[in-house]
Chain A
Amino acid sequence: MMVFFRLFFQGIRDLFRVPWSLCMTLAAITLVCFLGGAFLLVLHNFNLQIEARHGNVQFQIFWNTQADKEEVQKTWAGLSAMEGVVNVRTFTPDQALDVLGESFQKNIDLDWMKGRSPLPPTAILDCQVPDAEQTKWAQSTLSTLKALPHVEKVSFNPLQVDLLTSWVGFTKMAFWPVIVFLLLVVALVVGNTIKLALLTRREELEILRFVGASRAYIQFPLLVGGLFQGVMGSALALGLLGLAFHFIKDLLNIPPLWITISFLPSMHCLTMLGLLGAVGMLSSLVALRN
């Protein structure tokens, strides 16, 4: 047990014997981890945002200005029964005029137009997108709305639906390749440092072997070194990320976005530390095997 701890700390101490090499390695690992962490942070916040406004889509329907009022209002009654519709707001031409007037902040008096408003009857549908088949749902809703009598134009924010689906698709597709790529880079960097240590200390390690050191005795400190580099690098990166986070967290907290960025959950951070430690150890193991 004593030997175990002694070798453990020796593995860390040995790293500091070539400080510049350790610095370079840590810098490289930190950079890579920082990039990975930033990627995760963006991902995490996007997902939070998507969850928060999960699938809220707005359709705005404009009727023909010449359309019969009665008929239009009959259609309005049926709107709320459609699939996914949460809230219906309707505007007669006069109501629309009021809203328009309000948006001018009463600087302009539009009352003289009452009764012969040039604006069309309008309805705004707030919809909750059903989880499955989002695109299909959006398309069918759109065509249903367009087919209503006297409807001139339906506008909706296809971007919202599309962005949602494409973002989810992208993250699913890109997440693992990006993570694996970053881990691979870390593995290569750590592996190279261990190889370098093996080279520069070849004589010393040979002497250790000659005086009766077992292979484990020699390799264990090097494995600890790999572990330490991985953990240290990711810890530094998380620290940097925290610092960067401190400066950007309120950047998007402005109208009309009101987005507060939140930091990676501690589970993610721990996973990152553990994963990189494991990768560091694994790559030193590979370096030792060759």
Chain B
Amino acid sequence: MISISRLSFSFGKQLALKDINFSMRQGEFVFLCGPSGAGKTTFMRILHGALAVQRGKVDVAGYNMNTLSENRKHFLRRDVSVVYQDFKILPDQNVFANVELPLKVRGVARHIIDKRVRAVLRSLQLDKKAQTLCEELSGGEQQRVAVARAVVVKPKLLLADEPTGNLDRDLAMRMMDIFQQFHKFGTSIMIATHNQEILERMPCARIVTLENGVMHEERLMHGVTP
């Protein structure tokens, strides 16, 4: 699903990612941990084509990110969904309009859009807010809208940047359940987080850490039960 060799990335003089080698098989569930400023968001933006590869080779979902032109990036983004740390939802539109957006740009038929969006909103307990403008939502609600928008298309690969950052414990756990469900149906998932609790919730997940732009393979959590 992802294969990266010798990836480095810098903002001007500041090196954000250093010589990263990483690969992820299809159907894998990976946690990307690390302190603030370690480069997690930068890493995910590169995987999504929002930042261009500067050095190294990056391959995501069968797309060579070194050569993928701007005109063809939407093909990648139809296979790879992202939950952004800052949500990137449209504040002046309602919840439903935001969640249906990726289906609309794919030209999905209206009745299928309605069905799928409703189902996703229900599973994230947003069905009562469907007609509410996003700027009137709380941080946690906005985050759930961002997650709903990412999973509604049933992506091959889901990248989520701190998807539980604004949620209370209960909602965070519910969110992890949803991710787990999608994982069961074959979606590969990478979640950036520093929430220790959700790590423990997913005992068979693989954990990698970023620290100052350097990646370490942490451990495979086997048999740790909460």
Query: What residues of chain A have their CB less than 8 Å away from a CB belonging to chain B?
Result: 2-3, 203-204, 206-215, 217
Contact = CB atoms under 8 A, between A and B. Distances in A.
A260 to B, nearest CB: 55
B48 A210 contact: yes
Bin chain B's interface residue count: 20 to 34
Contact of B105 (A2, A203, A206, A212): A212
Interface of B: 48, 50, 70-71, 73-74, 77-78, 81-82, 84, 88-90, 101-102, 105-107, 149, 153
Given A208-B105, A212-B153, 13 more contacts: A2-B107, A204-B90, A207-B88, A207-B90, A210-B50, A210-B77, A210-B82, A211-B101, A211-B102, A211-B149, A213-B105, A214-B71, A214-B105
Contact of A207 (B71, B73, B78, B101): B101
Contacts of B82: 210
Contacts of A207: 88-90, 101
Contacts of B84: 210
A209 B101 CA distance: 11
B105 A217 contact: yes
Contacts of A213: 74, 105
Q: Is the interface of A mostly helix, strand, loop or mixed?
A: helix
Contact of A210 (B71, B88, B107): B88
Given A3-B107, A207-B101, A217-B105, A212 B90 contact: no
Contacts of B73: 209
Nearest to B73: A209
A212 B70 contact: no
Contacts of A212: 74, 77-78, 102, 105-106, 153
Contacts of B70: 215
Contacts of B90: 204, 207
Contacts of B48: 210
Nearest to B92: A204
Given A3-B107, A204-B90, A211 B71 contact: no
11 contacts: A2-B107, A203-B88, A207-B88, A208-B105, A210-B84, A210-B88, A212-B77, A212-B102, A213-B105, A214-B74, A215-B71
Q: Closest 5 CB pairs between A and B?
A: A213-B105, A211-B102, A212-B77, A212-B78, A214-B74
Contacts of A206: 88
Contacts of A214: 71, 74, 105
Nearest to A218: B105
Contacts of A2: 107
A207 B150 CA distance: 12
Contacts of A210: 48, 50, 77, 82, 84, 88
A3 B109 CA distance: 10
Contacts of A211: 77, 81, 101-102, 105, 149
A208 B97 CA distance: 12
Contacts of B50: 210
Most buried by B among A207, A210, A211, A213: A211
A210 B50 CA distance: 8
Contacts of A217: 74, 105
A2 B102 CA distance: 17
